Amino acid sequence: MKILVINCGSSSLKFQLYNMDNNEVLAKGLVERIGIEGSNLQYSPKGMDKIVIETPLPNHDEAIKLVMDKLVDPECGVISDLSEINGVGHRVVHGSKYFTESCVVTEDVMEKLNKCVDLAPLHNPANIMGIKACEKLMPGVKNVVVFDTAFHQTMPAKAYMYALPYEYYEKYDIRKYGFHGTSHRYVSKQAIEMLGNPEHSKIITCHLGNGSSIAAVKDGKVIDTTMGFTPLAGFEMGTRCGDIDPAIVPYIMKKENLTPDEVDNIMNKKSGLLGVTGKSSDFRDAEAAMNEGDERAKLALDMFRYQIAKFIGSYVVALGGCDAIVFTAGIGENNGGHRAAICEYLSFLGLEVDAEKNKLRGSNIEFSTANSKVKAFIIPTDEELMIAQDTMELLK
Ligand code: ADP
């Protein structure tokens, strides 16, 4: 069985074509700058060199069409006909109350997906564009949606409720949903295996990328997570502010004469690392600036590490202990400096980092010392494989 996995962002699209008989990736790639000058496809077929194609791609339809052309191309293709693709799995950010697990796309599902748009305005519209493009270009092939919110549905009410008037929960479903669920699901499963598949486990998974979140996973089930009603909650991210005193919002709105949409845009796109440094949303840029003596870059990175350590501490309480802390995603997998600094805050738990192992990357690594009371793991996330597996299960 062959499954195509698609992860659409507003101006980007990541894809992987799997042969599910052996979980092999036949081709993968990335389309960047969709609808913006300089659009390009980076296409990596198995066993061949990466191909970069620069061509105008005004929308997601054109981007997916180009990907499909390459998949069946006589020279660089990996299948002879699109009919070899049995199903397409789409990453969808917000499933709201409508989706507690992955499902096959139907008209009813599309209607509900549209209802979720205002809850994740940065992400869900792009996911919907991707599904529509696939329906148009591959008629008859089933599409499956896999939600970032689904894995967090096991949270107890005391974790997901906000102390607002209860009627807002009843009327508008205002509660914590949590995101990056597919990543937290994947890495927590891997961590349980690395612990030797114990019957009981207490794991804290830190997904640190452009968007970041932490989850407390007890016996394989989420009991709490940092993101909330939207992916804006939690701690400092590339451009998102994370948790702030909610009273700041109306205060700034009055002072700066901002509409709700304007203040929302500032909190989602102009805050976080970008807001504090005033320079970049990229953590590598901030680190380079800090190393050159930029005080605000240092402050922004200190805040990032401190906020993460505090959440981990609170989840040790929520779990009643901790067997392992997992670091994953762009920053979590690649930056030993942040990992070491975060673990340093947690040394009172008996967590000890092996400095040499902390320099490694690229595979599942236990980077705590043999004596450490809490294990620390680097686990490269694989959301695409999880999506492909869910898609395969639903098509069976
Ligand atoms: P997303 O999937 O949320 O777009 P990623 O998980 O790919 O994001 O992470 C992207 C982030 O990871 C960027 O901010 C990038 O700067 C950061 N990153 C990647 N490598 C490193 C590194 N070696 N040190 C610090 N940050 C890194």
In the chain, the domains with their CATH numbers are 2-147 (3.30.420.40), 197-378 (3.30.420.40)
Rounded to the nearest angstrom, the distance between the alpha carbon of 299 and the centre of ligand 1 is 19
Instruction: Please answer whether residues 40 and 54 qualify as being in contact, where contact means their C-beta atoms are separated by less than 8 angstroms.
Output: yes
**Which residue's C-alpha comes closest to atom 27 of ligand 1?**
331
Return d(Cα 143, Cα 149) in angstroms, integer: 18
Distances in whole angstroms, Cα of residue 268 to Cα of each of 96, 233, 263, 275, 280: 19, 10, 9, 10, 14
Rounded to the nearest angstrom, the distance between the alpha carbon of 361 and the centre of ligand 1 is 14
Residue 121 pLDDT:
79
pLDDT tens for 91-137 read: 998 898 888 899 999 999 999 999 988 787 778 899 999 999 999 99
Instruction: Please answer whether residues 3 and 87 qualify as being in contact, where contact means their C-beta atoms are separated by less than 8 angstroms.
Output: yes
Return d(Cα 359, Cα 43) in angstroms, integer: 29
Return d(Cα 136, Cα 65) in angstroms, integer: 10
Q: Which position among 148, 224, 294, 390 bears the catalytic label?
A: 148
Active site residue 323: no
User: What is the pTM (predicted TM-score) of this model?
Assistant: 0.90
Is 324 strand, coil or helix?
strand
Strand (E) positions, 226-357?
Answer: 324-328
List pocket residues of ligand 1, CB cut-off 6 Å. Answer: 209-211, 238, 282-284, 287, 329-331, 334-335
In percent, how much of the chain has pLDDT > 70?
100
Return d(Cα 220, Cα 231) in angstroms, integer: 22
Instruction: Please answer whether residues 234 and 213 qualify as being in contact, where contact means their C-beta atoms are separated by less than 8 angstroms.
Output: yes
pLDDT tens for 235-268 read: 999 999 999 999 999 999 999 999 999 999 999 9
Task: For residues 54-82, give the mean pLDDT.
Answer: 95
pLDDT tens for 260-301 read: 999 999 999 999 999 999 999 999 999 999 999 999 999 999
* Category of 364 on φ-ψ map: left (φ > 0), alpha (ψ -120 to 50) or beta: beta
Residue 380 pLDDT:
97
pLDDT tens for 40-56 read: 999 999 999 999 999 99
Return d(Cα 152, Cα 145) in angstroms, integer: 16
In percent, how much of the chain has pLDDT > 90?
93
Return d(Cα 19, Cα 29) in angstroms, integer: 16
Instruction: Please answer whether residues 368 and 374 qualify as being in contact, where contact means their C-beta atoms are separated by less than 8 angstroms.
Output: yes
Rounded to the nearest angstrom, the distance between the alpha carbon of 213 and the centre of ligand 1 is 13
b/e string for 189-199 if b means 16 or more Cβ within 10 A? ebbbebbeeee
Mutate to test the pocket of ligand 1, among 283, 291, 326, 328 (most ligand atoms within 8 A of CB): 283
* The pair of three-digit structure tokens given for residue 267, joined into one six-digit string: 């909190």
| Residue position matching structure tokens 């967090």 | 152
Task: Report which of 386, 265, 391 is spatially closest to residue 328, judged by C-alpha positions.
Answer: 386
pLDDT tens for 148-177 read: 999 999 999 999 999 999 999 999 889 999
Residue 118 pLDDT:
77
